[in-house]
């Protein structure tokens, strides 16, 4: 089950956190995995981990918010590896603040990466998927696209857009072999979280970790690996009947 052999999988933002976990798991399942990121060092670490475990991974540097760069990188991937079977739009940036705390520059920066990036990468992948008779697009949304989250104004805006783009792509291509879904995690314990707490709450990291953990009724944050297992299902042939769906992985937030 969940065999990805002979499939080309592109994972954006795969230098760390959720993206790195997805890339590593897909490679373990046999995919030829392309790690896409703007952080060369982080992406190379992901590739090294995958290759040391016997997997197949390469790195392509790409700013997903830049149209010409996305077209070039995706064209190179298709030329060297063949049509993309799986695209995971995971690259994204965070922001904390209300509408009063969000500057126009903040708003535009989040839109460029979190929304425009998903659009550009999906637009680059779809023609090749159609050429080969189908494919899978998986977008990383957020619990913030389903419910209100305090002080996440701009971030929630972008993830709401990802949710509706997912539904639109799924509907437009359901008869042409392309499935599109999104995952909506609650808080996930990634290196970004640790770095943020260290920078903004020095000496109070443990206290704030508990605050973040307690947001989920289950009593802890999600792990990147748990998100990766859901991603594996949605990108595998076992999920062939699933499209246009938003999958919460939230530790009980929506039912509390």
d(CA 87, CA 120): 12
d(CA 88, CA 22): 9
Q: Which residues make beta-bridge pairs with 32?
A: 8, 56
Active site residues: 155
Sheet arrangement for strand 56-61: 56-61, 32-37, 8-12, 86-89, 135-140, 178-185, 246-249
Contact 93, 60 (CB under 8 A): no
- DSSP conformation letters of 33-53: EEEEES-HHHHHHHHHHHHHT
Ranges of beta strands (E only) in the chain are: 8-12, 32-37, 56-61, 86-89, 135-140, 178-185, 246-249
For 177, how many CA atoms within 13 A lie in the half-sphere containing its CB? 12
d(CA 135, CA 6): 13
Contact 78, 135 (CB under 8 A): no
Number of residues in the chain: 256
Q: Which residues make beta-bridge pairs with 185?
A: 249
Q: Which two tokens stand for residue 36?
A: 């896409």
């Amino acid at each position: 089950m969940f065999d990805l052999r002979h499939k080309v999988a592109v994972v954006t933002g795969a230098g760390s956190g959720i993206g790195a976990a997805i890339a590593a798991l897909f490679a373990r399942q046999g995919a030829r995995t392309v790690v896409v990121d703007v952080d060369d060092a982080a992406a190379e670490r992901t590739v090294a981990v995958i290759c040391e475990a016997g997997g197949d991974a390469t790195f392509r540097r790409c700013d997903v918010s830049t149209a010409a760069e996305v077209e070039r990188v995706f064209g190179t991937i298709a030329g060297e590896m063949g049509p993309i079977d799986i695209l995971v739009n995971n690259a994204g940036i965070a922001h904390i603040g209300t509408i009063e705390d969000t500057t126009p520059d903040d708003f535009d920066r989040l839109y460029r990466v979190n929304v425009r990036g998903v659009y550009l990468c999906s637009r680059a992948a779809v023609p090749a998927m159609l050429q080969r008779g189908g494919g899978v697009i998986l977008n990383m949304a957020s619990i913030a696209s389903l419910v209100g989250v305090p002080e996440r104004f701009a971030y929630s805006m972008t993830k709401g857009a990802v949710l509706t783009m997912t539904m639109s792509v799924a509907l437009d291509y359901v008869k042409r072999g392309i499935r599109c879904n999104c995952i909506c995690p609650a808080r996930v314990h990634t290196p970004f979280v640790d770095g943020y707490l260290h920078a903004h709450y020095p000496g109070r990291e443990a206290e704030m970790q508990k605050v973040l953990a307690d947001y989920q009724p289950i009593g802890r944050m999600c792990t990147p690996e748990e998100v990766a297992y859901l991603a594996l299902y949605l990108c595998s042939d076992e999920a062939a009947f699933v499209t246009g769906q938003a999958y919460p992985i939230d530790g009980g937030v929506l039912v509390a």
